[in-house]
A = this chain, B = another copy of it.
């Protein structure tokens, strides 16, 4: 039986609910966003008892579909005040799907300050005391939980940042080695989990019934064909497995779109020393692993194991955005310091993008100087990690830190830190930052693909023409992919290979026994955006919020010396569909 698990933290009750008809062909983001919009009053305090936290594997989770292990986390964001979906890799989604868990809805709030573990297995869910892991980082939490519940248990957890309800707090999902390096990072989902008194979820899929596939043969055929296309694609089959996402450092630097020194310029003099190529060489020299999958069945394997100079494990899932944020944006060119920042964020449970952007704002405020890698690590470990007043400022993110210090050059949209692509040099991504339902988010409509990587055609990154149409199409497609459970990186193939998306439709058709067309997938994407917009509108968001901070319009960014000059009325056309 496929079911929804409803966990009420106010009375500690757990219910298995049948999946309503309308949610049958939804998964991942489609499901989290529909549930949040239907069940949460947009006026609720994000950290109060009336907000909810929803976990949902994608539609293809738990099947042999390649790279289909994304787990969506949905809630009202304490960072942005908008609806939020943030998804992560790791092993949890597939285990949940195999157990028949369509979604977990966590609601209410414990009346006392008790903390809980939600254990999910073939019997259902139960709440257990979390006393022994409270205050622990995600690494130790995972070790203790696997010691208690078995080495194969899937772990979802928050670190001290989530316990302290910081708006930059993430939810960590352990990967195949049990490392807590895959995160539902953006928007403070970890703070919501903390507000629910939930320290961790443990998923034991022993004797799980597995996912029912109506037409196994048809599914296998479509999955194999899709897999083959992914492997044949230069980005998905070669670029990502070799260099990981950090391959983008040199590319964006060359394009003049690598935000440097808190978005003052688009090229970083130390780019080479933090590049994917440099990282690859370093990993090989230290006997790490440059090519690593975050969940079973991923064929793109963009993760890696990054060892320290002594050859000991330091971090994994070391992404371009993280390296940019703590690197170029903070003028730090020491990859080991950046790797340690990544490790600390994984352990404390913090969004690396938000924290890197925050550090650069703190540097602009003079808290520490630009380029001070050791100072940055100290802030992460001893201020944020210990929840000192300064740590509580930084842990609330870039907008908050900017306000605390009276800084006006704060790169955020809807209070969420702007990621690793300067919107003045890559204008298509600026359209996405401004308009997405999520606050500044590159994954919501990755126009960089077409602006810079020339995937899915080419739209001049420095021009204003075509950017709105580009972002609209990508936002719709992304909402659909985020609902499927497929990793967004399949888009590099889908955008250039006309036969790829039909294979996704074929897999869904074979699995659910209902004809799903490519048009249905597009319509699902549109439906997701519509409910997200509906929530945000009811929460008080208007086109006035779909704008970049004024300094992007007023300050030209070198080397191209361009500003973000797409008019507000143009941005307002993104959702004309």
**B540, A544: Cβ atoms under 8 Å?**
yes
CB of A482, distance to nearest CB on chain B (Å): 26
CB of A248, distance to nearest CB on chain B (Å): 30
**A408, B542: Cβ atoms under 8 Å?**
no
Question: Within 8 Å of chain B (Cβ to Cβ): is A165?
Answer: yes
CB of A566, distance to nearest CB on chain B (Å): 14
> Which residues of chain B come closer than 8 Å to A41, judged between CB atoms?
550
Question: Within 8 Å of chain B (Cβ to Cβ): is A114?
Answer: no
Contact with B along A536-551 (1 / 0, CB 8 A): 0011111111010111
Question: Within 8 Å of chain B (Cβ to Cβ): is A44?
Answer: yes
**A392, B404: Cβ atoms under 8 Å?**
yes
CB of A103, distance to nearest CB on chain B (Å): 25
> Which residues of chain B come closer than 8 Å to A498, judged between CB atoms?
none
Contact with B along A375-388 (1 / 0, CB 8 A): 00000000000001
- A550 touching B408 in the complex, CB below 8 Å, given contacts A167-B403, A542-B540: no
Q: In the complex, A48 Cα to B42 Cα: how many Å?
A: 31
Question: Within 8 Å of chain B (Cβ to Cβ): is A77?
Answer: no
Count of interface residues, chain A, beta-carbon cutoff 8 Å = 40
A550 in complex: contacting residue of B45, B164, B538, B542, CB < 8 Å: B45
A residues 25-62 near B (Cβ < 8 Å) are 41-45, 47-48, 50
A residues 543-561 near B (Cβ < 8 Å) are 543-545, 547, 549-551
Residue of A388, A538, A542 ringed by the most chain B CB atoms within 10 A = A542
> Which residues of chain B come closer than 8 Å to A403, judged between CB atoms?
78, 167, 396, 400
Q: In the complex, A325 Cα to B406 Cα: how many Å?
A: 25
> Which residues of chain B come closer than 8 Å to A194, judged between CB atoms?
406
Q: Which residue of B lies closest to A44 (CB)?
A: B550
**B550, A48: Cβ atoms under 8 Å?**
yes
Contact with B along A399-441 (1 / 0, CB 8 A): 0100111101000000000000000000000000000000000
Question: Within 8 Å of chain B (Cβ to Cβ): is A191?
Answer: yes
Q: In the complex, A550 Cα to B167 Cα: how many Å?
A: 20
**B47, A408: Cβ atoms under 8 Å?**
yes
Question: Within 8 Å of chain B (Cβ to Cβ): is A393?
Answer: yes
Contact with B along A243-262 (1 / 0, CB 8 A): 00000000000000000000
**B408, A48: Cβ atoms under 8 Å?**
yes
- A43 touching B167 in the complex, CB below 8 Å, given contacts A403-B396, A406-B191: no
A residues 353-409 near B (Cβ < 8 Å) are 388-390, 392-393, 396, 400, 403-406, 408
> Which residues of chain B come closer than 8 Å to A389, judged between CB atoms?
388-390, 392-393, 404
> Which residues of chain B come closer than 8 Å to A543, judged between CB atoms?
540
**A550, B195: Cβ atoms under 8 Å?**
no
> Which residues of chain B come closer than 8 Å to A50, judged between CB atoms?
550
Q: In the complex, A403 Cα to B42 Cα: how many Å?
A: 18
CB of A535, distance to nearest CB on chain B (Å): 11
A544 in complex: contacting residue of B166, B392, B538, B551, CB < 8 Å: B538
Contact with B along A511-550 (1 / 0, CB 8 A): 0000000000000000000000000001111111101011
A residues 154-204 near B (Cβ < 8 Å) are 164-167, 191, 194-195
**B549, A539: Cβ atoms under 8 Å?**
no
Q: In the complex, A194 Cα to B400 Cα: how many Å?
A: 19
**A47, B539: Cβ atoms under 8 Å?**
no
- A165 touching B47 in the complex, CB below 8 Å, given contacts A539-B544, A540-B542: no
Q: In the complex, A195 Cα to B167 Cα: how many Å?
A: 27
CB of A425, distance to nearest CB on chain B (Å): 22
Q: Which residue of B lies closest to A391 (CB)?
A: B389
> Which residues of chain B come closer than 8 Å to A396, judged between CB atoms?
403-404
CB of A495, distance to nearest CB on chain B (Å): 33
Q: A45-B551, A396-B404 are in contact. List 9 more A-B contacts (CB 8 A).
A: A43-B547, A45-B549, A45-B550, A48-B550, A78-B403, A191-B406, A392-B393, A540-B542, A540-B544
30 A-B pairs with C-beta separation under 8 A: A41-B550, A42-B544, A43-B544, A44-B550, A45-B408, A45-B549, A45-B551, A47-B408, A48-B408, A48-B550, A48-B551, A50-B550, A78-B403, A165-B405, A166-B406, A167-B403, A191-B406, A194-B406, A195-B408, A389-B389, A389-B390, A389-B392, A389-B404, A392-B393, A392-B405, A393-B404, A396-B404, A400-B400, A540-B540, A540-B543
- By a beta-carbon cutoff of 8 Å, the part of chain A in contact with chain B is 41-45, 47-48, 50, 78, 164-167, 191, 194-195, 388-390, 392-393, 396, 400, 403-406, 408, 538-545, 547, 549-551
The 9 closest A-B pairs by CB, nearest first: A165-B406, A540-B544, A389-B390, A389-B389, A48-B408, A392-B404, A45-B408, A540-B542, A540-B545
